[in-house]
Amino acid sequence: MAKAAKPKGVNPTAAKAVRPPAKCPICGEPAVPEFFPFSSKRCADVDLNRWLSGRYFIPAVESEPDREIPTDEDEG
């Protein structure tokens, strides 16, 4: 019988059932439920800023094929 065994390890990103001692990825302090997985709003803002200033931008609509997005030396 080659039955699929139960998943052994718990995926850290999917471990939401229980409450692990999550730490704020920004400052390392214990996360609070209010701003999970961060420790405070400030840390949540920091992460948000990373998103906004990062490459996580929403692609523009494709109704203007003549409009190319200028790239500012983004080859780093």
Please report, as ranges, the residues that interact with Zn ion according to CB under 5 A: 24, 26-27, 29, 39, 43
46 Cβ partners below 8 Å, 6+ apart?
26
In the bound complex, what is the minimum distance in angstroms from residue 42's beta carbon to Zn ion? 7
Residues 36, 46: Cα–Cα separation, whole Å: 13
Shortest approach of Zn ion to residue 36 CB, angstroms? 11
Query: What does the radius of gyration of the chain's CA atoms come to, in whole angstroms?
Result: 20
Residue closer to Zn ion (CB basis): 41 or 67: 41
Least Å from the CB of residue 68 to Zn ion: 39
